[in-house]
Amino acid sequence: MEPEQLWTLFQIDQQRMGALETILTTIRGWTITLASALAGFSLSQHHRSLLPVAMVGTVLFGLLDVRYTRTLLLHAKRADRIEQVIAKEHPFRPADSGGPPWLTWLERRYGSPILFYVIVLLLLLLLWIVS
């Protein structure tokens, strides 16, 4: 492929990654909205059974998040390969800092999304236990 074509493909990937980031932010926002609304209603109306519903909703939003994150990472991987061809001397991202390979892989791929949903689930579980 010609450098101009690669550059165009790189720009398209960057635009798609930006759109996917917007979608991911929206998914996380809806997760907080749904979980807090159900938790608030559950606590105010003494309907403890709504907290597991909030937990299931959180898990479903988490699965949706992981799916979009996977697509985002595929675009990022392709953009990295293009970058190595057209701008080898000027990488946009620093090289990996090291550490155990499994931890680096997990952090890079799904660490942040999973941690967000784990925290929401733990808070909902804590509310369920306390109520």
Percent of the chain with pLDDT over 70: 82
pLDDT at 84: 87
Q: Is residue 89 within a helix (H) or strand (E), and if so which, with residue range?
A: none
pLDDT at 107: 55
Measuring CA to CA, how many Å separate 31 from each of 19, 53, 64, 81, 121? Answer: 19, 12, 11, 33, 10
Question: What's this model's pTM, rounded to 2 decimal places?
Answer: 0.80
pLDDT in tens, 31-65: 999 999 999 999 999 999 999 999 999 999 999 99
- Residue spans per domain, the chain: 3-130
pLDDT at 102: 54
d(CA 35, CA 30): 8
